[in-house]
Each structure stands twice: as structure tokens, then as C-alpha cells.
Structure 1
Amino acid sequence: MHLLLKPSMISFVLLLLLPLGSFAFNEPDVEGGVLIELLTALNDSNHKITDWDRHFVSPCFSWSNVTCRNGRVVSLNLASYGFTGTLSPSVSKLKYLVTLDLQNNNLSGPLPDSLGDMLNLQNLNLAHNNFNGSIPASWSRLPNLKHLVMTGNHLSGSIPESLANITGLLELDLSSNDLTGEIPPQLFSTPMFNFTATHLTCGSNLQQPCVSSSSIPVSKGRSKVQVAVTAASICAFSLLLLGAFFGYRFHRVRKFKHDIFVDVAGEDERKISFGQIRRFSLREMQLATDNFSESNIIGQGGYGKVYRGVLVDNTRVAVKRLMDYHSPGGEAAFLREVHLISVAVHKNLLRLIGFCTTSTERILVYPFMQNLSVAYRLRDLKPGEKGLDWPTRKRIAFGTANGLEYLHEHCNPKIIHRDMKAANILLDHDFEAVLGDFGLAKLVDTKVTHVTTQVRGTMGHIAPEYLSTGKSSEKTDVFGYGITLLELVTGQRAIDFSRLEEEEDVLLLDHIKKLLREKRLEDIVDRNLKSYNCKEVETILQVAMLCTQSSPEDRPRMAEVVSMLQGVGLAERWAEWEQLEEASMQEFSLMSHKFIWAEDSTHDQEAIQLSQAR
């Protein structure tokens, strides 16, 4: 049987295959093999990366944490995955790599000399690992390097003088290492440098400072570069998928009128699609949830109920159904949540699988989090269910902080969650923290310091300035995060009226402050915790107090919070907090004495007047 194609159809097919050819002939299989070799050396003992498959034609199609451009791997973001291996020299075979981020792991061993051959590398972040040995002099051959961050390792020896040959370097952070010797003078002209907590020749008693006055946290310095690379890659890849999709749909649209992204009776005429997020039909949602059975309800939020569901391919999902999207803010909340989660991709943020729209329905579909929420695990456990031990609570604190930092520092425009609490932190099968419920989140332009809205959120978690003025900023999220830390440590709610019976403060924050002043740590920690690390508990509590200061200007940014959770810069900030708290208590005590004296004087006057009257 011969298949005859019209010339116009042949041209269309050839046009469709052109972008696919760019993948086929750029040797993506070589890069895939390199990535597998790299992952093996990194030692992913926790099996966090599960979708890297050497049998796939290209890592650019579906591999997580990999960003491509024109069929080439240009970015690897493998931060905070708990890797315990080494950095393989084979990484230098990724000739087009622009960004390599391996911060916050437990990698060790020497730094590969071969990285000096990566001519396109611009951003290298190996912070907070256990790398040792010297900085390779070969790295001076990186002509395009702009950000080099090595803080928090065990590097020794001197800084290679040839490193000053990298003329385009914008950021150099070698702090918290065992480096010694002279600092090449040219490096002090780097816009952002940090040589603190080393044995290098710098400091107030020497001619050169150890840190530049313009230094900013690493995340902010890199965010624009990473976002630019990611955005360009996503756009290119989306165009490729769009071309393939329409080619495939070309001959099917006439036969299958009920397929995805085709006009369907009962579906909203508004066509909404973001990347690879799937659009479901209402019938699929009804089948998945047993027609939205009340027995499948697993939660209820501000705009609707959440149901447990199973798709036809046996994928377990959570289905959020907006009950009345015609109400003020209802449809806007739907569109906002779809848009936010489609652009905010992070391992500690809830991933959106798809959505469903009809003339009467707005539905969101998420992965099912089998361990439900942190609030559930702290306070609503059923008999026989597993609670949260201290290492898990600490990991939740770190994961949530990383998710919020991503929203605040790496999204452009930045995202404010506005309802930060334990009930909105979900737990996957490994009890990894996943920040959810973006229904109250706001997109904020990076040039705007705050947004004024109707106050929304949960009492006890709402920052005082937001409650009094309606002005929210990322610092309102920081306050809510601080309260969440207190929930993790104590297991208690942010507001508990039962404490009135014991003549204690209703607000958890005030209650903990009182116990801290009385140094009653054992009365603060959740009684369900059989064992815990006192030093780690103190660290979490100190960070919580810094995050919940009444003035938003005094609260740290989430990037600083992430560092302080690791002990970096916490001691200094905590000493300042204790001084302010002591001064505040003295002022309060003085005012109380004045009030009592004034009240007693009034009573004396009244007594005199009464005696004279008699």
C-alpha cells in the first residue's frame, strides 16, 4: 500500500522534523552518558534522582534538574540532594554547560582540574560541601566565569594567582575554608568577594577588607542568570513540543473531538495551557473521585474541597475543586494558582499535574501526598500512624525554607505565599516537605516592596503589619515561617485558648518567649518527641524568634534564614535579639511600674475625697 502526500503536507512534515533533527545530530546521547557517569560518582544513595535513564535518546526531553538549549545541556541544578560522593572529572565533557549548582550536599574529595576546560561555564556553586585540597590553577582558564561560590568547604593552600586572570568575575566567595597565604590584589576589584572565616591575609587590621561592601547573598546574585537560562530553554523546548503536538493533532482532530485541547461540549471556551501541564475533562475527574464522593475528601481550603482520586493509569492524585468560582476572587484564584505553579518548579514546591475547566467548574490536579500535611502528623494522627521524629522535623524546616527562598529570590516576579503554616506543608512518601496551597499567593514585581490586599491567611500566623495595614511582603512569609518552626518544635497550634485555663498566653509566640526567658527548654519541646538534639532545637528556636520580630525590617530574608539554619551568622543576630528583648522588657517593666503608681495615686485621691465627704 502506497501513501500519497500532497506537496503541502510534505513541506509541513519536513518543517516539523527540522527541530527534531537538531536533537538527533547534536550527540545528546553522549551528554546523557556523561550525566549518568556524573550521578554515579555523586552517589545518590537516597535515590532522589529517579528519572535519569541512559536508554532515553536525550536528557533534554524529560530528565529532572536538567536545562537545555538547542538540544545541549546548559544547566544542572543538583543542590540539597544529600549526595555523598565526589565530583567526577567527566563533568567537563558537558562542553556547553553554563551553570553547575551542587551546593548543600555532602560531597568530598579534590576539585577536578578538568573544570578548567569548560569554556562556557559562567556559574559554579559548590558551597557547603566537604571538598578538600587546593583550588586548581587550571580554573583560571575559565574565560566566561562570573560567579564562583565555594564557601563552607575544607579547601586549603593558597589562592592561585592566575585566578585573577578571569577578568569577568562578578562574585567570588571563598569564605569558611582553610585557605592560607596572600590574596592576589586583583581579586579585591571583584564587585562581590568574601574571604571571611579563612586564614587569608585580610581584615580590619590589614590593608584590605575580607568582604566587599557590595556583597549580597549567593542566591540573589545568581537568580537573574539562572532565570534567564531557564526561561530561554523553556521557551525553545515549548516551541518544539508545540510543533510536534500540532503535527500529531493535524490528522486526529477531525476523528476525536473529545481529546485534550480540542473544543468539547461543556468545556470552557477559554483555552488555558502551561508547558506540559495536562488538561482533564470533567468526566475524568468524576471517575477519579467517584463523582466527588464525600468519603474521598481529604481537606478543605479557602476556595473549595480537596478529594483523593485515582486516574485511569492508576496515578494517585489530589483533586482540588473550587466550589464557587463565580464568587469574588474565585476564578482569579484558579488562574493565579495555575500560573504560579506552572512557573515555580522546585523540589520543595507542590507540582501541578493538570487542571479542568467547564462553564461551571474549576479544578486543579496535584500529586497525592500520602503522608498528608505536617499539621496532621503533629496533631491529628490516628492510632498506629507514624508521627514526626526530630530528624524529620529538622528536614522539614530546611526543606520549607528552601522552597520559600526559591519563591522570594529565584522567581521573577517574586512570589509571596501569604498563608505559611504547618497545614500547608505537605509530606511525600519520604516525608520530604512540599509547600502547597498557592491559592493565596501573589505575584509581585521585583521593583515593588509590598502589595496591599484584603488580609487573608490564618490567625496566629499573620504578621502584625499585615494585620494592621493590609500590606504584605516577603517578610510576612518570614513571620509565618517562624511560627511554623514553633509548631514543628512544640507540636502545638499557633493559637490555643486552652492555655487560658493554665493562665498561659493564648498566642504560641508569646508563650514560647516566656518559656525561653525562664530557660525552660524541656517545657517547649513536643512531649511526643522521645529524643532530640538540644543544640539543634535551640538553633531552630533562635531562628524562629528572629523571623517573628514585630518589625519586618528586623526580620531576616529567607536566603539568610537558610544560612542561619546551618549556623552561619546566627550567633551575631541572636546576640542582637537578646539585647533588644532585654531592653524591651525593661521598658515594659518601667511602664508597668508607672501605671501601677499612677493607679495607686488615683485610689489615694479618691479615698481622701470620700473621707472629706464624710
Structure 2
Amino acid sequence: MCRNGEGFVKMENVKVPDTSSIKLENNLSLEACEEECLKNCSCLAYASANVRNGGTGCMTWYRDLVDTKQFTEGRQDLYIRVDAVVLAQYKNKSGGGYFSGRRRLAIILVVSISVPSLLILAVLCWFGKRSRKGRGGEPRFLNDPAASGVRSYEDLPIKNEVDEHRGDTDLPFFDLTTVVAATENFSSANKLGHGGFGTVYKGCLADGQDIAVKRLSRNSGQGVDEFKNEVMLIAKLQHRNLVRLLGWCIHKEERMLIYEYMPNRSLDLCIFDKNRKSLLDWRKRFQIIIGIARGVLYLHQDSRLKIIHRDLKASNVLLDGSMNPKISDFGMARMFGDDQIEANTNRIVGTYGYMSSEYAMDGLYSTKSDVFSFGVLALEIISGRKNSFQFENTSLNLVGLIWDLWTEGKVLDIVGSSLNQSYSTHEVMRCIQIGLLCVQENATDRPTMLDVVFMLGNKTNLPHPKKAAFSFKTSGLDSSTSRGASSVNDITVTVIEAH
């Protein structure tokens, strides 16, 4: 029961206690935070969750206040619950003497923690050590006062910033111990692949649910921005052709995203691997092309947010157990306003070979940038060949090669040998034509994704494509010139490892 006369003592320039058992309310003011803590007799202390702009949000503690330090300057205020006697002594002697500085903090903390609570803490620690030896329990969520996965105050700024932009999205926050147990301590045997921003591991939760954990590289200077971007954007998106983000985890330098697990891995592993490309017949490839188109259309038009993906490629399309495609990796995605047509950036990011000419050369990106990437991807799915710069004595890349074959009336020569003639010639020709329409050099000539989905699903007359971007001959270019043309800053490369 609460005791009469209880109140709070303000400690200045404090590193707040261990935050693994806090309750976090982003919408409460500091005054409301005090009222909430005072009403709950188990609440031992409170503080602002975000010290910027005068302090916002509310953190409250319900367990022992451990790992607390007082500094000369540069930290924040912590309000600690004390009984009437200590509160009166504090008010009488707050200017100095016995209750000043570090000694005052120590006295208050000792008074606020009883012997029974220390005994309970010891028991909980013993059980905690035993539980870590197993596979771990259910995911522990941010709004659970028993756990949050954050082990120090330094973890909170990025978590608070992500929370502020998530709105009312109920996206689970996974405890680090849960993720470690699920991935068997990030075992190399569970490694699915790695890319520019980190490594992906397969995991299994205690309830048997398979997950994919994207562990961002600590050495990536871009990782923090991409992490926040993905949590803020993909959490608000729901579509059958977009990968589902199950939750996220922050612990000190560790930042992880937890996705639904896709048993057939990424599309590039299926269409470019000579041993696996035969798994996809033409009917399945056609359905994958349609599924990707519908996913991009949702991003551009049908979702609550207008999203430009900016890194649509084969390794960022995952396949579920039925080979249905799901677009993933929204770290470089950008949100557009309803009336916004294009934007400009000084930092070109993405994967060369999937970039539109106006983006690669001038930094201009729009929905037509994603249309271009989709066109490249569709042509790769049809041909089973990557849009690289390795074609000798012919066009510079796959897009250029297909454009040349199209103008010569020999475009079916590019169809992948893995299809073994088991395809509809008319359907393949139509898809190649749609792909070439998407990769036209001039962005205004390219169709919208709504047009693309309509053309894929209906047998209507198609316009004749104009010249494809980057479709020039290698003759007259020496090897050094070719290599220079393919150099772009901040490109990302994803490597999939088979196990």
C-alpha cells in the first residue's frame, strides 16, 4: 500500500537506471507522468523519455533502480519516490550539506530499495540466467513493464525517434535474448545471406514460428537511417506481395529487423543459379512478374503512403513456400506527397543495373524510377540472365542486348534455356514488350505501374517501345571505359549463400 506523504525527489544530471523494466508512454507530459507514477504504489521513479525540446514522453520504473550514476552536467533529471520523512529532509536541506551531490543520490536510492526487493531481484536474476540457457521465450514487447530489451539509457534516443514516427502502429519490440535464442546466437549455420547493410539469419521462436532476422552491420554508417526508415515505412504497409515486418530490436549498438521467413529465399537465387532456375517454369515466372507489379502498384498508388522503393531488384524479392513474390528491403525507400511528381538527391543509392538513367546521372527519382527497375527485373526473369556488363561484341548490358534483338526481330533468342520451350510464345513476347516499355530512356515515355498491371492482365494492343536506356554498343569503347561507366557511389551488393 502507498504510504501517506510520499513524493518525489529530483536528482539532476543523472544517468537513469537500467531501462529493462520501464514502462514507456510517449504521449504523456512530465506533469502527467508524475501523476501516473504517484497513483501506482509500485512506481519507484519517473523521468522524461526524450530530453530534447524541453522534455517529452514518460518513463516509469517498477523495479529496483540499478546502474544509476550522477554527473556534473550533460545528463537528465530523475524523480525518485521517497517516503514523507526523506521528502521533508530533502526539502529542508536541498541546498547542500548532508543531502548534496552523489551522497544524496546514494542515500535516496538506499532508502527507496527495501531488503525484500533485493531478495526478489536476486531470485529474478537467478531465473533469468537459467532461462538464457534455453531457446528463449515469447517475444517481449515494449509496452510490457516486465521487459523492453533496452539495457541502457544510450539505447533510447533512436527508439524514441522511431516510436514518434510509428503513429498508432502496434509493431512488437523483440527482446535481444529472444532473438539470440531464436538464431542460436547468430550461428553461421543459420546465415541466409548478407548485403550492404548487414547479415540475414534464419531463426525460430519458442512457439515454433520461423523468422528472418536482418542484423545491421555495426560498421555501416548508413545503417541507422535505413533502420529507422524501414520501421517507420513498412510497418504501415500491408499487401500480399510485400514482406511482413514482424518486429524490431535495439540493444546498444545492435539494431535488428525481424521479418516473416521466406522458405524459398530470394528471387535471384532461383533465376540466376544454374541448379535452381529449372524450378521456375514459365507459368510461375509469369505469376511472379504479375505479383511484383501488383506490389509496386500498391506502393505507388493504393497504400496510405505513396512510396518510391528505389532499390527494386531480384535479391530484394523474396519467395514464400508457394513461390509467391514479396518485395522486401525498404531501407532506401522514400515517401512522396500525393501531388509530388519527382525529387532530387545528391546521394545516389541503389544498385547499378536497376537504376534509371535520370536517377543514375542526375539524382532525379520518381515512380518512373521504380517502373524502370521493374522492367529490368521482368527481363531478367524472362531471360534468366542478370543485367550486367559482361556481354562482349554486343550491347553493353542485358537491356541493350534485348533491345537489339527486338529491333532485329529475334527477341525470343533471349528466352532462358531452362524454360525448355514450355511457354506461350505470344505471352513471352508480350511480357518482353512490356519490359522494354518500362526501360525506355525517357521517363515520361514509360508507363505507370497501373498501366503495367493492366497490360499484363489484359490482351490489349501495346505501344511500340522507344529506345531503351543504356542501349549502346561496346564497339569503340575500351575495357577501361566500360568499367568507368558502371561506377556509382553508394551501390549495394547482396550476396546470397546457399546452405
What range is the shorter-chain TM-score in? 0.5 to 0.7
Instruction: Using the TM superposition, give the Cα deviation of residue 294 of structure 1 relative to its aligned residue in structure 2, in angstroms.
Output: 2.3
Q: How does 1:418-457 map to 2 (within 5 A)?
A: 418-453=310-345, 454-457=347-350
Residue in 2 that maps onto 1:360: 253
Letter in 2 for 1:518: E
Unaligned runs of 5+ in 2: 2-39, 44-60, 64-123, 129-139, 476-499
Instruction: Using the TM superposition, give the Cα deviation of residue 567 of structure 1 relative to its aligned residue in structure 2, in angstroms.
Output: 3.1
Q: Is 1:516 matched with 2:406?
A: yes
CA distance in 1, matches of 2:239, 2:355: 25
Q: How does 1:104-503 map to 2 (within 5 A)?
A: 254=62, 259-261=140-142, 262=145, 266=151, 268-269=155-156, 270-271=159-160, 272=162, 274=166, 275-324=169-218, 327-380=220-273, 382=275, 387-453=279-345, 454-497=347-390, 499-500=391-392, 503=393
Q: Deviations over 1:541-579 (max 9, x none)?
A: 0100110000000101101110011235543x23xx3xx
Q: Which moved more, 1:342-351 or 1:516-525?
A: 516-525
The 3-state SS of whatever aligns with 1:277 is coil
- How large is the RMSD of aligned CA atoms in angstroms? 3.1
The answer as to whether partners of 1:412 and 1:446 remain within 8 angstroms in 2 is no
Instruction: Using the TM superposition, give the Cα deviation of residue 310 of structure 1 relative to its aligned residue in structure 2, in angstroms.
Output: 1.0
The 3-state SS of whatever aligns with 2:455 is helix
The 3-state SS of whatever aligns with 2:418 is coil
Instruction: Using the TM superposition, give the Cα deviation of residue 515 of structure 1 relative to its aligned residue in structure 2, in angstroms.
Output: 1.3
Instruction: Using the TM superposition, give the Cα deviation of residue 380 of structure 1 relative to its aligned residue in structure 2, in angstroms.
Output: 2.2
CA distance in 2, matches of 1:264, 1:364: 14
Quickly say closer, same or farther: Cα 1:291–1:250, change in 2 above 3 A.
farther
Residue in 1 that maps onto 2:428: 537
Instruction: Using the TM superposition, give the Cα deviation of residue 457 of structure 1 relative to its aligned residue in structure 2, in angstroms.
Output: 1.3
Quickly say closer, same or farther: Cα 1:364–1:295, change in 2 above 3 A.
same
Letter in 2 for 1:310: C
Residue in 2 that maps onto 1:143: none
Letter in 1 for 2:431: I
CA distance in 2, matches of 1:551, 1:465: 8
Residue in 2 that maps onto 1:60: none
Instruction: Using the TM superposition, give the Cα deviation of residue 288 of structure 1 relative to its aligned residue in structure 2, in angstroms.
Output: 1.2
The answer as to whether partners of 2:249 and 2:257 remain within 8 angstroms in 1 is yes
Instruction: Using the TM superposition, give the Cα deviation of residue 301 of structure 1 relative to its aligned residue in structure 2, in angstroms.
Output: 2.2
TM-score, length basis structure 1: 0.50
Residue in 1 that maps onto 2:37: none
Q: Deviations over 1:245-264 (max 9, x none)?
A: xxxx9999847999521455
Quickly say closer, same or farther: Cα 1:265–1:426, change in 2 above 3 A.
closer
Instruction: Using the TM superposition, give the Cα deviation of residue 496 of structure 1 relative to its aligned residue in structure 2, in angstroms.
Output: 4.2
The 3-state SS of whatever aligns with 2:417 is coil
Q: Is 1:546 matched with 2:431?
A: no
Q: How does 1:580-595 map to 2 (within 5 A)?
A: 580=466
The 3-state SS of whatever aligns with 1:343 is coil
Quickly say closer, same or farther: Cα 1:429–1:469, change in 2 above 3 A.
same
Instruction: Using the TM superposition, give the Cα deviation of residue 518 of structure 1 relative to its aligned residue in structure 2, in angstroms.
Output: 2.2
Letter in 1 for 2:238: V
CA distance in 2, matches of 1:382, 1:438: 29
Letter in 2 for 1:473: S
Q: Is 1:504 matched with 2:385?
A: no
CA distance in 2, matches of 1:342, 1:266: 24
Q: Deviations over 1:11-70 (max 9, x none)?
A: xxxxxxxxxxxxxxxxxxxxxxxxxxxxxxxxxxxxxxxxxxxxxxxxxxxxxxxxxxxx
The answer as to whether partners of 2:403 and 2:467 remain within 8 angstroms in 1 is no
Letter in 1 for 2:191: I
Residue in 1 that maps onto 2:415: 525
Letter in 1 for 2:201: Y
The answer as to whether partners of 1:412 and 1:445 remain within 8 angstroms in 2 is no
Quickly say closer, same or farther: Cα 1:299–1:288, change in 2 above 3 A.
same
CA distance in 2, matches of 1:328, 1:448: 29
Quickly say closer, same or farther: Cα 1:569–1:305, change in 2 above 3 A.
same
The answer as to whether partners of 2:314 and 2:377 remain within 8 angstroms in 1 is yes
Quickly say closer, same or farther: Cα 1:546–1:386, change in 2 above 3 A.
closer
Letter in 1 for 2:350: G
Quickly say closer, same or farther: Cα 1:280–1:543, change in 2 above 3 A.
same
Quickly say closer, same or farther: Cα 1:549–1:411, change in 2 above 3 A.
same
Which of structures 1 and 2 has the larger relative contact order (alpha carbons within 8 angstroms, sep 6+)?
A: 2
Q: Deviations over 1:576-603 (max 9, x none)?
A: x3xx559xx9xx99xx9xxxxxxxxxxx
Unaligned runs of 5+ in 1: 5-248, 593-614
Q: Deviations over 1:95-133 (max 9, x none)?
A: xxxxxxxxxxxxxxxxxxxxxxxxxxxxxxxxxxxxxxx
The answer as to whether partners of 1:539 and 1:567 remain within 8 angstroms in 2 is no
Quickly say closer, same or farther: Cα 1:304–1:265, change in 2 above 3 A.
closer
The 3-state SS of whatever aligns with 1:431 is coil
The 3-state SS of whatever aligns with 2:256 is strand
CA distance in 1, matches of 2:414, 2:41: 64
Letter in 1 for 2:443: P
Letter in 2 for 1:523: D
CA distance in 2, matches of 1:264, 1:519: 60
Letter in 1 for 2:225: A
Q: Deviations over 1:307-335 (max 9, x none)?
A: 1111111111110011127x543211111
CA distance in 2, matches of 1:312, 1:251: 30
CA distance in 2, matches of 1:296, 1:444: 37
Letter in 2 for 1:306: V
Quickly say closer, same or farther: Cα 1:526–1:504, change in 2 above 3 A.
same
Instruction: Using the TM superposition, give the Cα deviation of residue 276 of structure 1 relative to its aligned residue in structure 2, in angstroms.
Output: 3.1
Letter in 1 for 2:210: R
Letter in 1 for 2:177: R
Instruction: Using the TM superposition, give the Cα deviation of residue 447 of structure 1 relative to its aligned residue in structure 2, in angstroms.
Output: 2.5
The 3-state SS of whatever aligns with 1:512 is helix
The answer as to whether partners of 1:288 and 1:312 remain within 8 angstroms in 2 is yes
Q: Deviations over 1:483-539 (max 9, x none)?
A: 001001100001141x21xx2223101100111122224411000112111011011
Letter in 2 for 1:260: F
